[in-house]
Each structure stands twice: as structure tokens, then as C-alpha cells.
Amino acid sequence: MPRPPIPRTIQEPPRCRRFQPVPSPPGGGVPLALSLEGCEALRLSDLLGLDQETAAREMGVSRPTYGRILTAARGVVAEALVTGRELEISGGNYVVGPRGRRHRGGPGGCGGGGRGRHGSERR
């Protein structure tokens, strides 16, 4: 049986959770999903310019795990930009803030049937 995943620490959920091209491509399609921990990795490395070791400590994960999260996040964002698909930031396994409030459940919910502000899910 695999070890349960350790929640990643994010400072705060993004203010905007959905991005779509204007005009939207015909047929729309299913939005690409970017996890909240992937968004946090992009914020730490690409916006704040932290090295991977420092950013990994901020998120409470190992440097190799952080590298995998960052690579996956960059791939999702690149695909959305190049193909013109909608991007939705949701899900993941994370805690918010330095002390961390755990969040698990479906997208858009805190395990309460989608009624909360934050969401997480294992992918």
C-alpha cells in the first residue's frame, strides 16, 4: 500500500481560478486543470524567483517533489497558452498558510459537498 501523500503548503488560494482565451475557440472543450500546489510552485519560482530548494521548504516538500510539481504546472500552463484552451485552478492536496488549514474534498469544497471556498482532491 503506498504512503499517503503529504499536503503541500500554499500561502493563499489564487484570486482568480479560471482563465479563458478571448474569443473562446469553437467547441470550447474541457478546461485544463492546474492544481493549487502547481499554481503555488509557479508563484514561488517564476513570480518570486526563488530557487527550487527554498521554494520546496516553503511548500513543505522535498526538492525532487517540488521539481515534479513545477514541471507539471509549467506543462499545463504551456498547453493552455499554445492550444488556446481554458485553464482552471482547482484541486490538489494542500494546506493554507504557515500553520496550515487542511483541505480535502471535491473541487470547490472542503469535503462538504462543494459548499466551501477551497478544494482539494488527490490526482
pLDDT of residue 57: 94
Contact in structure between 118 and 96 (CB atoms under 8 Å): yes
pLDDT of residue 109: 37
Domain boundaries, the chain: 28-90+97-123
pLDDT of residue 28: 67
CATH 1.10.10 given to domain 28-90+97-123 = yes
pLDDT (tens digit, 9 = 90+) per residue, 64-117? 999 999 999 999 999 999 988 999 999 888 999 874 444 444 444 333 333 233
pLDDT (tens digit, 9 = 90+) per residue, 3-54? 888 889 999 899 999 999 888 777 667 899 999 999 999 999 999 999 999 9
DSSP code for 80: H
Phi, psi of 27 (to 5 degrees): 85, -15
What mean pLDDT do residues 60-67 have? 95
Residue type, 62: S
